Amino acid sequence: MHLPRRITDIQPPVIPILGEWIRANPGTISLGQGIVSYGPPAEVLNAVQAFGGQLAEHRYGPVEGQPDLLAILRHKLTTENGLPLDGRKVVVTAGGNMAFLNAVLAITDPGDEVILPIPYYFNHEMAMTMIGCRTVGVTTDARYQLDLAALRAAITARTRAIVTISPNNPTGAVYPEADLRAVNALCAEHGIVHVTDEVYEYFTYGDACHYSPGREASSRAHTISLFSLSKAYGFAGWRIGYMVVPDELFDAVNKIQDTNLICPPIVCQAAAAAALRVGQPYCAPHVAALDVVRREVHDVLAGIADIVEAPATEGAFYVLLRVRTDLDAFTLTRRLIERHKVAVVPGSAFGVTETCALRISFGALDRESVAAGMGRLVAGLRAEVG
């Protein structure tokens, strides 16, 4: 059967591949998938148990989301993120990935270009390929921070957007306010869109602070802000995200979402509203616990500094190692699973091809399991690399 290039050109989804390798090697500790180890607050389960008593709850809802959830999100966005919502619309989506796909479908034609800093989130690159757009990868610096001059140099007549993720997946970097403001100014200068992915907004450590680029009133016409409940509320399987778009893009996003989804699942929106009523305080102690694990992970990695380089994690719950080896990242990842029973994600999935890079996720397991996994990783790297 003929398969179109928009599908065959997409990189294989790395998480299912790793899942197959892990299942084939029972007892493997996975430091791979980017999820948290905790579940949602009890209020979510209570809301779900109370759901379904009204006929309307079993019918289609508004394409952009339920009014009560939208009201909660507007309050959160104005009070926490500082986003002025005049001239903007909030749209609830089935997860952050759908929000991103909505955004790029709304602003691009096939053959257009979107700039992704490398390392990029692999589902962003996969989405671009699927819709027929060209990903323009722009390398970051040694600490995985933005190279503003390189971003400017990458803009062409076909460029439609620059995408930033802060706090970052897969690196754990947090971009300074000044750099994000500079990207906004660059987009305004060239008449392109700044797509800002803020899924990990609550996950920052030490002196790092999350900044929402959309809070600048001048950014209204050229900034699309993306968010998700998946990480902060242990909510990944419920598939609820949301986006903030200029009024001028609302009809386009509505067309796209109505075609793909009709409306986000209403039961999931009820659960999301319950989680957001609890709010950021639910996430805060979990982030504090992750900070302890983060420091322990970096302490372990400092012991193998002769074979790896591990830029400091300031946000999210990832470390992107650079390994001093001639092995490619996929080969090394497979050896670590099959020979040492520990899983990580190869950096090549995130567009890192010039060096062997491995992403560690320390968010999905309890502290003791992360420590055990790191012990195996160190032993495995010593055995395979030197």
Provide the residue-wise pLDDT of the chain in tens; the chain has 386 residues: 888 888 888 888 898 999 999 999 999 999 998 999 999 999 999 999 999 999 999 999 999 999 999 999 999 999 999 999 999 999 999 999 999 999 999 999 999 999 999 999 999 999 999 999 999 999 999 999 999 999 999 999 999 999 999 999 999 999 999 999 999 999 999 999 999 999 999 999 999 999 999 998 899 999 999 999 999 999 999 999 999 999 999 999 999 999 999 999 999 999 999 999 999 999 999 999 999 999 999 999 999 999 999 999 999 999 999 999 999 999 999 999 999 999 999 999 999 999 999 999 999 999 999 999 999 999 999 999 97
Task: Name the 3-class secondary structure at 360.
Answer: strand
The length of the chain in residues reads: 386
User: Residue 36, Cβ neighbours under 10 Å: how many?
Assistant: 22
Residues 13 and 67 in one domain: no
Residues 274 and 287 in one domain: no
Q: Which of 222, 245, 279 is the last residue of a domain?
A: 279
Q: Which of 254, 279, 304 is the last residue of a domain?
A: 279
CB-based contact 119:320 (threshold 8 Å): yes
Residues 247 and 323 in one domain: no
SS (H, E, C) 288-308: HHHHHHHHHHHHHHHCCCCCE
| CATH code of the domain covering residue 299 | 3.90.1150.10
Q: Which of 239, 255, 279 is the last residue of a domain?
A: 279
Count of domains forming the chain: 2
Residue 45 lies in a domain: no
**Which pLDDT score is estimated for 12?**
85
**Which pLDDT score is estimated for 274?**
98
Residues 24 and 87 in one domain: no
Rounded to whole angstroms, the Cα distance separating 147 from 140 reads: 5
Whole-structure pTM value: 0.96
Rounded to whole angstroms, the Cα distance separating 335 from 343 reads: 9
Token pair for residue 42? Answer: 């009890």
| CATH code of the domain covering residue 226 | 3.40.640.10
Residues 70 and 138 in one domain: yes
Name the residue with tokens 């933005």: 146
Helices 266-278 and 67-79, interaxial angle, to 10°?
A: 30
Residues 265 and 291 in one domain: no
**Which pLDDT score is estimated for 182?**
97
Residues 379 and 268 in one domain: no
Residues 112 and 256 in one domain: yes
Rounded to whole angstroms, the Cα distance separating 284 from 276 reads: 13
Beta carbons within 8 Å of 276's beta carbon, 6+ residues apart: 69, 72, 73, 76, 229
Residue 340 is part of which domain span? 5-40+283-384
Q: Give, in order, the Cα–Cα distances in Å from 144 to each of 166, 269, 271, 282, 307.
A: 11, 35, 35, 29, 19
CB-based contact 69:212 (threshold 8 Å): no
Residues 97 and 171 in one domain: yes
CB-based contact 324:307 (threshold 8 Å): yes
359: Cα separation from own chain's centroid: 13
